[in-house]
Amino acid sequence: MSSTTYSRLEVAAGCLLASLVLHGCGSSNNNSQNIPTGTKATLALLETTDLHTNVVSYDYFKLAEDKSLGFERTATLINQARQEFPNTLLLDNGDTIQGTALSDYQAIVNPVSCSQPLAMYKVMNAAGFEGGGIGNHEFNYGLPFLSQVTGNRFNVDGLADPAAQPTCKGPSFPQVLANVNSVKTSAPLFQPYTIINKTVTATGPDGKPVTGTVKVGIIGFTPPTIMSWDKRWLDGKVYTVGVKEAAEKYIPEMRAKGADLVVVISHGGLDDSVYSPTMENGSYHLSRVAGVDAMLIGHSHQIFPNATSTVAQFNLPGVDKVAGTVNGVPTVMANYWGKHLGVIKFDLTYDGKTWTIDKTKTVVQARSTQNADKSYVAVDPTVAAAIATEHQATIDYVKTPIGSTDFEMSSYFADVGDPGAIELVNQAQADYVAKYVAANLPQYATLPVLSVSAPFKSGFAGGTDYTDVQQGNLAINNAADLYLYPNTIYAVKVTGADIRNWLETAAKRFNQIDPSKATQQELVSSFPGYNFDMFTSPDIRYEIDVTKPEGSRIVNLKYKGVAIDPAKEFIVATNNYRASGGGSFPGLDGSKTIYASPDANRDVLIQYIKTAKTVSRAANGSDRSWRFTPVTTAGQVVFHSAPGKLALAQAAGLAGITQLQADDGSGKSLALYAIDLSK
């Protein structure tokens, strides 16, 4: 439904109803302005979404440029659109203030002061944003932080009375969110909507330029599922209401207050299943609420319109992925990390009372920062310049020594028993989980806490595909080498029998070795190294008998010197991937998880190093829980690793390893090593 259907009478009727049930009508419902009937204007809505604090085109983990992302390039698309269209209205969809080392730096490491805006908002203020929504990730750092950095004073449990709170520097544009309320007050946490008086240059019926005002109402929505995702921050403090109910309540109010256009800023994708107030992606149902002129959507990290999209949500009935409409409502989704800019161009005519949309002339586009020749548009240099200090501080933080190690921590010989790159991870995981259980899960306080991890980098891609952290200072970026994957810590409750099955699966890492065979045999199978879970603790000991078939290789499995009781319960610290069924380990399916931590294994490792300060071979790299069951083989047993690393095997105390060929002939910079399994 376009604004054309809203006559003055209907506005008045809406106002009458509103006066009974809603806030009542403001005084601004009279749109009459001193411009002639028949005046025409072009107004382009510009959307950014899911920027995730990618301000500059930079990867803070690689400490290197990444031209495929960053607002400094989106800004160039914005500048171009402003050249192209006489009037533009720049709006952000949300998921704006979280997602890079820069955001963590400003939220956790060195929290931004009340007098400073976040770097992300600083460049958005400079770019002239005129409104924004709130995504789910805005809640990731908790409500006090969100209240501060958005310049709000939330009235929620856990924060001082608003009168006692300072108003801090935030975005210089209004932010709207209609479906999250404070438990304390039952009122919306943010203003649910606002009406922007947009001054436009237009053309009178006589062809002469005139200046008018278009009242653009913006209303924001976030996924109700924030209540699960950020439960630790939100439970008991805020609650969500359904997006449809909120829209049906507020949009008539916006019309009554004179909105010529109603723009929905919905941080959610399209889902046409039966409506529920708790559904994550409510934008499809929002499109059917009366009075919506346009939707700026996000959250799904996708591009819409996109004629070639195979994504399920853009191939639903009522969704025109070529024209960019959802049930007839012009809709745009501008991908993520600043890769795209969304554009909805409206041609408007002033009818003496309100602006009406010429629907035949509406254009919807998602414009990429990548050119047809795969190059990227140039940066807007003012963006990086505005946050040079924050950017450099983040880089310095990533490079800052957090501790030191007295040995080279590597995974070159993890397959044959060196725990040097794994034990520290296990120690950090076990420490973290043990503390959590002691503080929060008294029912499990008597259970032993163990930990497993695997050599994530084990040479698959060649001789450089190994963890290798040099002796000396450890910095944040070294932690990414020690813990490769983006995982969060999960703790599972398992039995001794489960542990045996777990290790049997991990032991598929090895081929079955025939001791009588006189020819060379390869030790390592195609079973991935990232699934070769191992303990590295003096409390647990086992042997892997590679002469046995899969499923019967774990022998002498002992806990504290005693054969493990199959019925005894343990807590094992691991990651979300394994606990949820990754790698198809028997018994691991998500249901044994007793703690799904929001904290990343890598961050827990960083914290552990910061606390320990010094990492040593003796304390953090020499506890071998497992060894091969000794066997004398008639022929050589061989494996592959980077060349010239024998000294590292010896430093790890591994006996019986020799380098046979510095080049194994694979062309992957790997050497051929032999292991004497009788040693």
Partner 1 sequence: MRSIFPSKRNTPRLAAALLAGAAALGGIAWASRTPTPTAAELAQLQILAGPGRQDAALARLTNLAEGGTADARRTLGLALLSRGDHDGTGLQWLRRAAQEGDTDAAFQLGKLYSAGTAGVPADAVRAFAWFSAAGKAGHAGAAYYLGIAWRDGYGVKTDHAEAARWLRRAADAGIAAAQFLLANAYREGDGVPRDDIEAVRLYSAAAEQDHPEACQTLAMAYLNGELGLQRDEEEGRHYLMEAAHALKHPALRP
Q: What is the residue type of 444?
A: Y
120-128, 145-153, 183-191, 614-622 -> range binding partner 1 (CB under 8 A): 183-191
Is residue 228 a contact residue for partner 1 (CB under 8 A)? Answer: yes
Residue number with CB closer to partner 1 (99 or 258) = 99
User: One symbol per residue from 119 to 158: x for binding partner 1 (CB under 8 A), - otherwise; what is it?
Assistant: -----------------xx--x------------------
Closest approach of partner 1 to the CB of residue 163, in Å: 21
Find the binding residues for partner 1 in span 299-318 (CB under 8 A).
301, 311-312
Shortest Cβ 396–partner 1 spacing (Å)? 22
Asked if 324 interacts with partner 1 (CB under 8 A), we say no
Element (DSSP H or E) covering residue 199: strand 193-203
Q: Which three-class secondary structure state does DSSP give residue 302?
A: coil
Q: Which residues pair with 410 in a beta bridge?
A: 468
Tell me if 94 sits within 8 A of 429, measured CB to CB: no
Binding partner 1 by CB under 8 A: which of 13, 160, 183, 518?
183
**Residues between 60 and 89 that touch partner 1 (CB under 8 A):** none
Tokens of 120: 């992300």
CA 332 to chain centre: 21
Of 134 and 657, the one with the shorter C-beta distance to partner 1 is: 134
Query: Which residues contact residue 555 at a Cβ distance below 8 angstroms, ignoring those fewer than 6 apart?
Result: 542, 543, 544, 545, 629
Separation of alpha carbons 65 and 122, rounded Å: 21
Q: Is 166 one of the binding residues for partner 1 (CB under 8 A)?
A: no
Backbone angles phi, psi at 228, to 5 degrees: -85, -45
Contact (Cβ atoms closer than 8 angstroms) between residue 598 and residue 232: yes
Q: Which of residues 492-531 bind partner 1 (CB under 8 A)?
A: 528, 530
> In terms of CB distance, is 95 or 390 closer to partner 1?
95
Cα–Cα distance, 341 to 130 (Å, whole number): 15
Closer Cβ to partner 1, 215 or 255, answer by number: 255
Site for partner 1 in 444-473 (CB under 8 A): 460-461
Contacts of 310 (CB under 8 A, 6+ apart): none
Q: Does 339 bind partner 1 (CB under 8 A)?
A: no
Residue 291 is classified by DSSP as: T
Q: Which amino acid is at 324?
A: G
Burial class (CB in 10 A: 0-12, 13-18, 19+), 668: middle
User: Under a CB-based contact definition with an 8 Å cutoff, are residues 517 and 629 in contact?
Assistant: no
The least distance separating partner 1 from the CB of residue 593, rounded to whole angstroms, comes to: 10
425 closest CA partner among 535, 541, 580, 582: 535
Q: Which is nearer to partner 1, 347 or 465 (CB)?
A: 465
Q: Are 514 and 523 in contact (CB under 8 A)?
A: no
Q: Is 277 in the site for partner 1 (CB under 8 A)?
A: yes
Q: Hey, what are 483's tokens?
A: 């813990």
If one asks whether residue 20 binds partner 1 (CB under 8 A), the answer comes out as yes
Residue 485 to residue 103: CA distance in whole angstroms: 20
524 forms beta bridges with 510
Ranges within 370-429 binding partner 1 (CB under 8 A): none
Asked if 567 interacts with partner 1 (CB under 8 A), we say no
User: Which range of residues in 241-249, 382-390, 517-525, 541-549 is near partner 1 by CB under 8 A?
Assistant: 241-249
The binder of partner 1 chosen from 211, 278, 556, 666 (CB under 8 A): 278
CB 294, CB 45: distance < 8 Å: yes
Phi, psi of 26 (to 5 degrees): -75, -175
Instruction: Using alpha carbons only, give the angle 646, 647, 648 rounded to the nearest 5 degrees.
Output: 90
Candidate list 194, 410, 487, 633; residue touching partner 1; CB under 8 A: 487
Q: What whole-number distance in Å separates Cα of residue 642 and Cα of residue 660?
A: 12
**Interface segment toward partner 1; rule CB under 8 A; list 273-281, 286-294, 323-331, 661-669:** 273-281
Determine the Cα–Cα distance for residues 528 and 508; give it in Å rounded to an integer: 9
Q: From residue 670, how far is each of 454, 468, 640, 644, 667 by CA, in Å?
A: 20, 15, 6, 10, 7
* Binding residue for partner 1, selected from 33, 67, 239, 309, defined by CB under 8 A: 239
Residue list 569-588, contact with partner 1 (CB under 8 A): 576-577, 580-582, 584, 586-587
Q: Which residue among 246, 341, 480, 499 contacts partner 1 (CB under 8 A)?
A: 246
Question: What is the smallest separation between the CB atom of 459 and partner 1, expressed in angstroms?
Answer: 11
- For partner 1, the binding residues in 603-662 under the rule CB under 8 A are none
First to last CA, the chain: 79
Q: Taking CB under 8 A as the rule, does residue 241 contact partner 1?
A: yes
Specify the stretch interacting with partner 1 by CB under 8 A; choose among 38-46, 222-230, 361-369, 509-517. Answer: 222-230
Q: Specify the residue, 135 or 217, whose C-beta has the smaller distance to partner 1.
A: 135
Q: How far apart are CA 447 and CA 568, in angstroms?
A: 9
Please, what is the minimum distance in Å from the beta carbon of residue 217 to partner 1? 18
Q: How many residues does the chain have?
A: 679
Interface stretch with partner 1, choices 28-36, 226-234, 341-349, 397-405 (CB under 8 A): 226-234
Question: C-alpha distances in angstroms, 486 versus 359, 595, 601?
Answer: 45, 17, 8
CA distances from 192 to 135, 169, 223, 462 (A): 14, 20, 14, 54
Are 175 and 220 in contact, with CB atoms under 8 Å apart? Answer: yes
Stretch that binds partner 1, among 239-247, 322-330, 367-375, 555-563 (CB under 8 A): 239-247
| Residues that contact partner 1, how many (by CB under 8 A) | 61
Nearest distance from C-beta of residue 275 to partner 1, angstroms: 5
Stretch that binds partner 1, among 270-278, 353-361, 372-380, 474-482 (CB under 8 A): 270-278
* Interaction between residue 275 and partner 1 (CB under 8 A): yes
Show contacts with partner 1 in window 35-64 (CB under 8 A). 52
Residue 274 or 372 having the CB closest to partner 1 = 274
What is the binding site for partner 1 (CB under 8 A)?
17, 20-22, 52, 98-99, 136-137, 140, 181, 183, 186-187, 223-229, 235-236, 239-242, 244-246, 248-249, 273-278, 301, 311-312, 460-461, 485-488, 528, 530, 576-577, 580-582, 584, 586-587, 589-591, 600
